[in-house]
Structure 1
């Protein structure tokens, strides 16, 4: 299987975030901050309603971390761990460009 561009970007962003001092900036709650290096690369927003639809045409209203396949928290939680952010907590109402609908 040939590695995709998406996986390359995710792995590169994770590596850079892990290696750059201060790149893992957290909000007081221990959640991923929008200013975090990886969050900026993936256009993470704490509130999905603030996503710029012109910049992210794939964004559809209703897409939030809580219903993303990478979100590992409970849908009822205010925040939970995310596989994309190496288990760090993201807002359940957040969104990033790696959003993937849960397949049932």
Structure 2
């Protein structure tokens, strides 16, 4: 994978919490590719991002697939956004 073979430095990999079987599969892939050895893999509760998009009426798609057709993709994007916001807030507080 790009994260396992090409990434030159360590990074954070936010992974959304999901249905147990899907989550088990994702973590199996992470471990098989030894991603935890080089990177910080962080489980993030991101289902709220789907609800927020619904509340604001956002009709997003990826390659023609809606949220209902590819929930995990959108939760992964949400997890990345949540993680980025957390890091921003942490750094902002540290500067004060």
Higher relative contact order (CA 8 A, sep 6+): 2
Between Structure 1 and Structure 2, the one with more helix by share is 2
Which TM-score applies when normalising by structure 1?
Answer: 0.27
Q: Which has the larger radius of gyration?
A: 2
Which TM-score applies when normalising by structure 2?
Answer: 0.28
